Amino acid sequence: MWRLLREGVRFYRPVLLTSWGFGAGIFFLVLALIAVVGSVRDLNAMARAGVQLPLAILIASLVAGFIAIGTERSENRVRMHLMLPVPINQVAVARVLLPTALMILGLVASHVLFALLLAIEGSPVLSPRHGNVDFIGMQLLFWVQVGLAVREVIELRHRVSWQGALGSKALLVTAVAVMAVIQLGPWQSAVLRAAGAAALAVLVMTFTVVLFRRRNVFTK
């Protein structure tokens, strides 16, 4: 499993780095446009906006995760993995851990970058705002995993009746609803909200692994 994960991260590392580059480039382009059309008084606001650069890195990691999911499906790489002497359980776990690893790499890079920007701004490097970065990262990780889970629910629907897939659909919809509550709820602690989003992401990952293990057709 870990070998599959390492090879997957190595394979998609150029995609991740390219996504980071595009994300940072678009962010700085927007700031440059604001500088051109704005006034001198906007410079301080722009400096404060620069601290939001880690958000661009997180979104770029999300894009890289979806690219990985799409490539794995289009190139039938899952079937190639199943031809290896690796249990299906490990293939299933590695499949959900690959986009997770890309998101975690993006989260680590965002924290490092955020600490540097805060130091330049004059704020404490270990600012409580790091919790907000974690919360945003866990939300994005959740939505990446929902993309994988939806694919498995569609495959399940092809194998069983509509009623047979109803429970899986209901569980996925419930997870999305709980995430909406976490996002919009009155809780002030970003750390607790990040922990809740991470727990939901793990739940969806487990759900995806269980459905994948029950598949008997791996054409997609």
Residue 81: how many other CB atoms lie within 10 Å: 20
In a domain, 19, yes or no: yes
Residue 188: how many other CB atoms lie within 10 Å: 7
Which pTM value belongs to this model? 0.81
Q: What is the residue range of 50's domain?
A: 2-213
Tens of pLDDT along the chain (220 residues) come to 777 888 888 888 999 999 999 988 888 787 777 667 765 455 555 555 556 778 889 999 999 999 988 887 765 666 676 677 778 888 888 889 999 999 999 999 988 888 887 777 665 555 556 788 888 899 999 999 998 898 888 877 777 666 667 788 888 899 999 999 988 877 778 888 899 999 999 999 999 998 888 776 655 5
Type of residue numbered 117: L
In a domain, 219, yes or no: no
First-last CA distance in the chain: 20
- Rounded to an integer, what distance in angstroms lies between the CA atom of residue 91 and that of residue 74? 17
Type of residue numbered 193: R
In a domain, 26, yes or no: yes
**Residue 122 phi, psi (nearest 5):** 105, 0
In a domain, 152, yes or no: yes
Q: Which residues of 8-28 are buried (b: 16+ CB within 10 A; e: fewer)?
A: bbeebeebbeebbeebeeebe
Length of the chain: 220
- Rounded to an integer, what distance in angstroms lies between the CA atom of residue 121 and that of residue 4? 41
Cα dihedral 94→98→101→105 (10° resolution): 160
- Rounded to an integer, what distance in angstroms lies between the CA atom of residue 175 and that of residue 203? 8
In a domain, 218, yes or no: no
In a domain, 220, yes or no: no
- Rounded to an integer, what distance in angstroms lies between the CA atom of residue 38 and that of residue 61? 30
Residues 6+ apart with CB under 8 A from 57: 20, 23, 24, 106, 109, 110, 113
Provide the pLDDT for residue 202.
94
In a domain, 184, yes or no: yes
In a domain, 33, yes or no: yes
Kindly state the tokens that stand for 36. Answer: 């051109």
How many domains would you assign to the chain? 1
